[in-house]
């Protein structure tokens, strides 16, 4: 009888302890992103992202069911431990699309994100600046599915983290290693290629012109470099060239700008890394919207006259 009493007392103590443990208050984001993987891996992921969760929760989750992957709508930011774990397995977030097209700048992407998710543009810009290593070109072009109710901080943290992981994967695949400074020099060059090329086929040719001009000590003199930030969709005029004193002005400063001028596609990146083996130094837009390339200034002038 004594042993039986001890047994039931132990069971009762465990039950009471679990009850109180599951009622411990925890803080959460209103929506969180859950990766695919094992429960152990998910617990590690949450712990690394500053959620109050530990190894014991792993066993509780096994009883409740496996957490869902993707965006989870937690509903509230102040929950009990039990509610938090339960919602990981049962809740799902409503998603909306946010698209970044190749060549677009962060200025306009932030405007789009503000409209789609009803977020403050200043908060989005501050969050971007907090996590991104460069003013532009970090978030890769794509259509991202993100949950309604996401915060400006979480939105940018997620997009930049995912993109930087992809940048690293691409660098290792193409170059064999990831050196952030070297890689984003290619991204900067690619961002000009993205702005200047009329189509994918022209990208290696435009990249070759950039390299050839740098080698010859010539300024790039490319309008695309001045289509940065809020100027992404504006025609570059002689007056603009004269007044713009930023390092994006490749009419005044030699070599490429210090930062990307917009988002870049994989095709533009590959063109920047593997330019065409040609000696072109000039190009001008033809009436069909594509470009005519030339190796000498005399040829270039002739092509300009024909274009007119």
pTM > 0.85: yes or no: no
Helices (H), 176-296: 180-196, 203-215, 238-243, 266-273
Most confident of 21-30, 55-64, 96-105, 289-298: 96-105
Which residue has 């020099």 as its token pair?
Answer: 185
Give the whole-angstrom CA distance, residue 283 versus residue 303: 9
3-state DSSP helix/strand/coil percent for the chain, to nearest 5?
55, 10, 35
pLDDT of residue 295 exceeding 60: yes
Least confidently predicted of 100-109, 110-119, 141-150, 184-193: 141-150
With CA atoms as reference, report the closest residue to 95 among 43, 35, 33: 33
- With beta carbons less than 8 A apart as the criterion, state whether 75 and 31 touch: no
| Tens digit of each residue's pLDDT (9 = 90 or more) over 205-261 | 999 999 999 999 999 999 999 999 999 999 999 999 999 999 999 999 988 999 999
Average pLDDT over residues 148-175: 95
With CA atoms as reference, report the closest residue to 188 among 149, 225, 152: 225
Give the whole-angstrom CA distance, residue 262 versus residue 39: 38
Give the whole-angstrom CA distance, residue 136 versus residue 123: 16
pLDDT of residue 113 exceeding 70: yes
Q: What is the DSSP string of 123-185?
A: HHHHHHHHH-SSSSS-SPSEEEEEETT--HHHHHHHHHHHHHHHHHHHHHHHHSS--HHHHHH
pLDDT value at residue 252: 94
Check residues 63 and 174 and name the one with the higher pLDDT: 174
Give the whole-angstrom CA distance, residue 231 versus residue 187: 19
Rg (CA), the chain: 27
| Tens digit of each residue's pLDDT (9 = 90 or more) over 47-62 | 888 788 777 778 788 8
- With beta carbons less than 8 A apart as the criterion, state whether 191 and 264 touch: yes
- With beta carbons less than 8 A apart as the criterion, state whether 269 and 200 touch: no
Q: Which residues contact 89 (CB under 8 A, 6 or more apart)?
A: 61, 64, 65, 66, 67, 68
| Tens digit of each residue's pLDDT (9 = 90 or more) over 64-87 | 877 777 788 887 888 888 888 888
Query: Please, how many CA atoms are within 13 Å of residue 157, restricted to the half-sphere of its CB?
Result: 10
With CA atoms as reference, report the closest residue to 124 among 163, 147, 150, 144: 150
Q: Region of 162 please: left (phi>0), alpha (psi -120 to 50) or beta.
A: alpha
Average pLDDT over residues 272-283: 96
Average pLDDT over residues 269-289: 93
pLDDT of residue 119 exceeding 60: yes
Check residues 70 and 262 and name the one with the higher pLDDT: 262
Give the whole-angstrom CA distance, residue 68 versus residue 267: 34
pLDDT of residue 306 exceeding 60: yes
- With beta carbons less than 8 A apart as the criterion, state whether 207 and 271 touch: yes
Domain coordinates in residue numbering, the chain: 18-90, 95-175, 181-307
Average pLDDT over residues 109-119: 97
Which of the four pLDDT bands, split at 50, 70 and 90, describes residue 4? low
- What does the mean pLDDT of the chain come to? 89
pLDDT of residue 3 exceeding 80: no
Which of the four pLDDT bands, split at 50, 70 and 90, describes residue 180? very high
pLDDT value at residue 49: 82
| Tens digit of each residue's pLDDT (9 = 90 or more) over 7-48 | 555 665 566 666 667 777 888 877 888 888 888 888 888 888
pLDDT value at residue 149: 84
Which of the four pLDDT bands, split at 50, 70 and 90, describes residue 303? confident
pLDDT value at residue 18: 62
Give the whole-angstrom CA distance, residue 203 versus residue 268: 6
| Tens digit of each residue's pLDDT (9 = 90 or more) over 162-178 | 999 999 999 999 999 99
pLDDT value at residue 308: 57
pLDDT value at residue 137: 97
């Amino acid at each position: 009888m004594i042993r039986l009493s001890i047994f039931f007392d132990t069971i009762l103590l465990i039950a009471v302890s679990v009850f109180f443990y599951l009622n411990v208050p925890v803080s959460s984001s209103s929506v969180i992103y859950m990766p695919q993987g094992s429960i152990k891996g998910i617990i590690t992921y949450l712990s690394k992202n500053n959620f109050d969760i530990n190894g014991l929760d792993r066993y509780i989750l096994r009883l409740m069911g496996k957490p869902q992957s993707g965006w989870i709508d937690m509903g509230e930011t102040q929950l009990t431990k039990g509610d938090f774990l339960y919602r990981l397995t049962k809740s799902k977030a409503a998603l909306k699309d946010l698209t970044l097209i190749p060549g677009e700048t962060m200025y306009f992407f932030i405007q789009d994100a503000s409209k789609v998710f009803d977020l403050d543009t200043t908060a989005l810009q501050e969050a971007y600046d907090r996590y991104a290593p460069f003013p532009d070109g970090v978030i890769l072009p794509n259509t991202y599915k993100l949950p309604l109710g996401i915060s400006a901080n979480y939105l940018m943290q997620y997009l930049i983290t995912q993109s930087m992981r992809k940048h690293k994967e691409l660098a290792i695949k193409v170059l064999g290693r990831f050196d952030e400074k070297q890689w984003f020099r290619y991204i900067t060059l690619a961002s000009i290629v993205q702005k200047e090329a009329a189509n994918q086929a022209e990208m290696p040719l435009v990249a070759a012109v950039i390299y050839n001009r740098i080698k010859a000590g010539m300024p790039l003199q490319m309008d695309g470099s001045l289509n940065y930030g809020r100027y992404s969709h504006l025609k570059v005029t002689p007056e603009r060239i004269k007044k713009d004193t930023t390092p994006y002005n490749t009419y005044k400063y030699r070599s490429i700008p210090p930062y990307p001028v917009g988002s870049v596609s994989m095709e533009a990146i590959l063109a920047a890394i593997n330019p065409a083996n040609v000696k072109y130094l000039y190009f001008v837009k033809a009436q069909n919207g594509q470009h005519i390339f030339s190796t000498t200034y005399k040829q270039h002038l002739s092509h300009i006259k024909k274009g007119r």
